[in-house]
Amino acid sequence: MAAASAVSVLLLTQRVTSLLLPPRGWAWKQRTMKYGTTTGRNITKILIANRGEIACRVIRTARKMGVQSVAVYSEADRNSMHVDMADEAYFIGPAPSQQSYLSMEKIIQVAKISAVQAIHPGYGFLSESMEFAELCKQEGIIFIGPPSSAIRDMGIKSTSKSIMAAAGVPIVEGYHGEDQSDQCLREHAGRIGYPVMIKAVRGGGGKGMRIIRSEKEFQEQLESARREAKQCVNDDVMMIEKFVDMPRHVEVQVFGDHHGNVVYLFERDCSVQRRYQKIIEEAPGPGIKPEVRKKLGEAAVRAAKAVNYVGAGTVEFIMDSKHNFYFMEMNTRLQVEHPVTEMITGIDLVEWQLRIAAGEKIPLSQEEITLQGHAFEARIYAEDPNDNFMPGAGPLVHLSTPQADLSTRIETGVQQGDEVSVHYDPMIAKLVVWAADRQAALTKLRYSLRYYNIVGLHTNINFLLSLTGHPEFEAGNVHTDFIPQHHKELLPSQKDTAKEFLCQAALGLILKEKPMSEAFRIQTQDRYSPFASSSGRRLNICYTRKMTLKDGKKDITIAVTYNRDGSYSMQIEDKTFHVLGDLYSEGDCTYLKSSINGVASKTKLIILENTIYLFSMDGSIQIGIPVPKYLSSVSSEGTQGSAIAPMTGTIEKVMTRM
């Protein structure tokens, strides 16, 4: 037997407990791996051909295993977290991914210079590139992923459908042919019957995918899908499938090794999506019975064995309301949502990837892989849910997160002060929680979301709170049309901010004045100056001042009376509130401890430029501070005659009329 590789170390014994729940019987098992490598090489150093959150994720496991990590970075990522975490880091070019993270030649060159034995591609970018996997093989570098033949067969959706049908995996009716003329595709769409789904054969993550509901919109949607596919995966070949209305998106995690073994690690439900991209994932799938779970797993294993699969992969299925399921596609890489599978199985999937790439057998048999508890993953994005989830970019001026523990994971590649770049995916982080059952996990998820506070750009955190609190979501009645179906409840029209929050905002401003007045009093010798006192004290009368705040576009006038006992009376319209409180610091954050008409609360307070941000268990509130017209030279709506883009992007086509 060959000597054990550097990745052949003890599987760590780990038991995960929850502060609110009894200890769970955990799936980690202490065992010594004695398998030699089929490659005949040790893996002691890897290059991560990716960025951001997934690069950080791989580096953490590599560090745990004693494997050195090498990062690559573009100009936009020069000061990124994954660069700081890695043992070595190499610059590979300008911010656009085509010139950096998608440049196979540059990455291979770094791999040679840094003398790594293997490359982990993460997800996205080159992770499902048959050409890159083949290039690694030619250069004598281990590609931590499946063989290029599996990537080829599963990466081309038309080919994968044929292979799955031959393997006895149920598939959806569609067209997967070579004739890519507009007329041919249109004819097949009509034959299949609208609505249809048109997909790029090499697409993924919703890229190059469109739902077409009538022949009238076919041409426009086809052209749009082709443009997006060409830009993202450099291949605009399309396939057409019958669109199953309101289906569930259920996927199965599989693992194969070089010895012919394949196992499944149960299913994830990823049904709740916007813009054809996942936003909430959970494992196991709600309401799926053990016998259906077994059939799903066995079908996924058949799919993997049909292409001699090695490493981590995901077999995705469409499931109807009767729990019939049909093969959709196979992702030949680690998925964004892999942490929920790790949480319910106790298995480090990245560690398994490195072990199997080094030639070891799968550490556990199918019978040894057990499912315990329930896990959720919420993707936190820089986007505006109120503007059709338009992605955004900009600085993370303030960033604070819930406390990570054994049942709460925060997967991220950014920290306060970093910038979400226009050049890459706008995902800020993944919040992952585990509990003994679905309801307990959902409660923990909502609690943790309230402690995820971001200032500097629009995020979907409040939307995630609304989504996870919806009665139908709580009941597990999820499907891919969930957000459009419940749009009005999830994104209600803007309501006036509660007057109690306006009082908190006014109190925060008043209390922030105190240290500034104190500083002025110390600096000036005129102790009678009105600027040296913020108490509002007057002889024989109580001082009243008027403050104006902005609730959206609406100006709110608050009459604030300074009472002799240090409290305040605040009148908003015809209602008066008795208000008192103080500021205190906790770590790097400022909190407002207040009492409004006898109701005490603790609220995080951030005042930046002309906005007051309040974060509490009730959610987050933004209150504006009006700017005098003479201080505002340019309107926020832009100058007259200018055009404002709804999101950052690249102009692909300019339509003109002659």
The answer, yes or no, to whether residue 36 has pLDDT greater than 50, is: no
- pLDDT, average across residues 342-363: 98
Tokens of 73: 């970075």
- pLDDT, average across residues 526-534: 50
Per-residue pLDDT of 190-225, as tens digits, reads 998 999 999 998 876 678 899 999 999 999 999 999
- Of the listed ranges 41-50, 306-315, 510-519, the one predicted with least confidence: 510-519
For residue 431, the tally of other CB atoms under 10 A from its CB is 26
pLDDT computed for residue 231 by the predictor? 84
pLDDT top residue among 369 and 175 = 369
pLDDT computed for residue 630 by the predictor? 57
Per-residue pLDDT of 308-321, as tens digits, reads 999 999 999 999 88
Domain 499-629 listed as CATH 3.30.700.40: yes
CA dist 10 and 6 (Å) reads: 11
With beta carbons less than 8 A apart as the criterion, state whether 18 and 365 touch: no
The answer, yes or no, to whether residue 573 has pLDDT greater than 90, is: yes
pLDDT computed for residue 99 by the predictor? 96
The answer, yes or no, to whether residue 532 has pLDDT greater than 50, is: no
| Direct distance between the N- and C-terminal alpha carbons of the chain, in angstroms, rounded to an integer | 76
pLDDT computed for residue 645 by the predictor? 63
pLDDT computed for residue 631 by the predictor? 58
CA dist 335 and 349 (Å) reads: 10
Architecture of the domain delimited by 173-242: 2-Layer Sandwich (3.30)
The answer, yes or no, to whether residue 629 has pLDDT greater than 70, is: no
With beta carbons less than 8 A apart as the criterion, state whether 10 and 29 touch: no
Band (39; pLDDT cuts 50, 70, 90): very low
pLDDT computed for residue 646 by the predictor? 62
pLDDT computed for residue 632 by the predictor? 55
Beta-bridge partner residues of 554:
551
CA dist 207 and 97 (Å) reads: 16
Domain spans in the chain, listed from the N-terminal domain onward: 45-144, 173-242, 249-490, 499-629
The answer, yes or no, to whether residue 518 has pLDDT greater than 70, is: no
The answer, yes or no, to whether residue 546 has pLDDT greater than 50, is: yes
CA dist 179 and 537 (Å) reads: 83
Band (15; pLDDT cuts 50, 70, 90): very low
The answer, yes or no, to whether residue 232 has pLDDT greater than 90, is: no
pLDDT computed for residue 338 by the predictor? 98
What is the three-class DSSP state of 377?
Answer: strand
Q: Which DSSP symbol is given to 471?
A: H
The answer, yes or no, to whether residue 363 has pLDDT greater than 90, is: yes
- pLDDT, average across residues 87-101: 97
Tokens of 657: 């009329």
- Of the listed ranges 17-21, 166-170, 558-562, 639-643, the one predicted with least confidence: 17-21
- Of the listed ranges 396-405, 448-457, 533-542, the one predicted with least confidence: 533-542
Per-residue pLDDT of 132-149, as tens digits, reads 999 999 999 999 999 999
**Fold entry, domain 249-490:** D-amino Acid Aminotransferase; Chain A, domain 1 (3.30.470)
Tokens of 560: 């604030």
* Residue 376 CB contacts under 8 Å (≥ 6 apart), including other chains: 280, 281, 282, 340, 432, 433, 441, 442, 445, 468
CA dist 291 and 270 (Å) reads: 20
CA dist 271 and 476 (Å) reads: 11
Tell me the C-alpha to C-alpha distance, in Å, between residue 199 and each of 176, 212, 389, 461: 10, 11, 21, 30
Q: Where are the alpha helices (DSSP H) in 126-243?
A: 130-138, 148-155, 157-166, 182-192, 218-233
The answer, yes or no, to whether residue 430 has pLDDT greater than 50, is: yes
- pLDDT, average across residues 29-53: 67
- pLDDT, average across residues 584-595: 94
- Strands (E) across 288-407 are located at 311-319, 325-331, 374-381, 383-384, 390-391, 394-395, 398-400
CATH class of this structure's domain 45-144: alpha beta
CA dist 355 and 341 (Å) reads: 18
The answer, yes or no, to whether residue 64 has pLDDT greater than 90, is: yes
The answer, yes or no, to whether residue 344 has pLDDT greater than 90, is: yes
* Residue 231 CB contacts under 8 Å (≥ 6 apart), including other chains: 652
For residue 222, the tally of other CB atoms under 10 A from its CB is 20
DSSP codes joined into one string, 467-522? HHTSHHHHTT---TTHHHHTHHHHSPPPPPPPHHHHHHHHHHHHHHHHHHHHHHHH
pLDDT computed for residue 145 by the predictor? 97
CA dist 186 and 199 (Å) reads: 13
Band (643; pLDDT cuts 50, 70, 90): low
Of the candidates 538, 551, 464, 541, the residue with the CA atom closest to the CA atom of residue 506: 551
pLDDT top residue among 399 and 632 = 399
- Strands (E) across 19-83 are located at 45-48, 68-74
CA dist 5 and 34 (Å) reads: 9
pLDDT computed for residue 429 by the predictor? 98
> Which residues are tagged catalytic?
333
Angle between helix axes 52-65 and 349-357 (nearest 10 degrees) is 70
Per-residue pLDDT of 487-504, as tens digits, reads 999 999 888 999 999 999
pLDDT top residue among 243 and 473 = 473
Q: What percent of the chain has pLDDT over 90?
A: 74
Q: Which long-range contacts (CB under 8 A, 24 or more apart) does 8-12 make?
A: 8/33, 8/34, 8/35, 8/355, 8/358, 8/360, 9/33, 9/65, 9/66, 11/351, 11/363, 12/64
Band (176; pLDDT cuts 50, 70, 90): confident
Return the CA Rg of the chain: 28
pLDDT computed for residue 7 by the predictor? 39
Amino acid at 178: E
The answer, yes or no, to whether residue 413 has pLDDT greater than 80, is: yes
pLDDT computed for residue 440 by the predictor? 98
pLDDT computed for residue 320 by the predictor? 87
Q: State the average pLDDT for the chain.
A: 88
Band (513; pLDDT cuts 50, 70, 90): confident
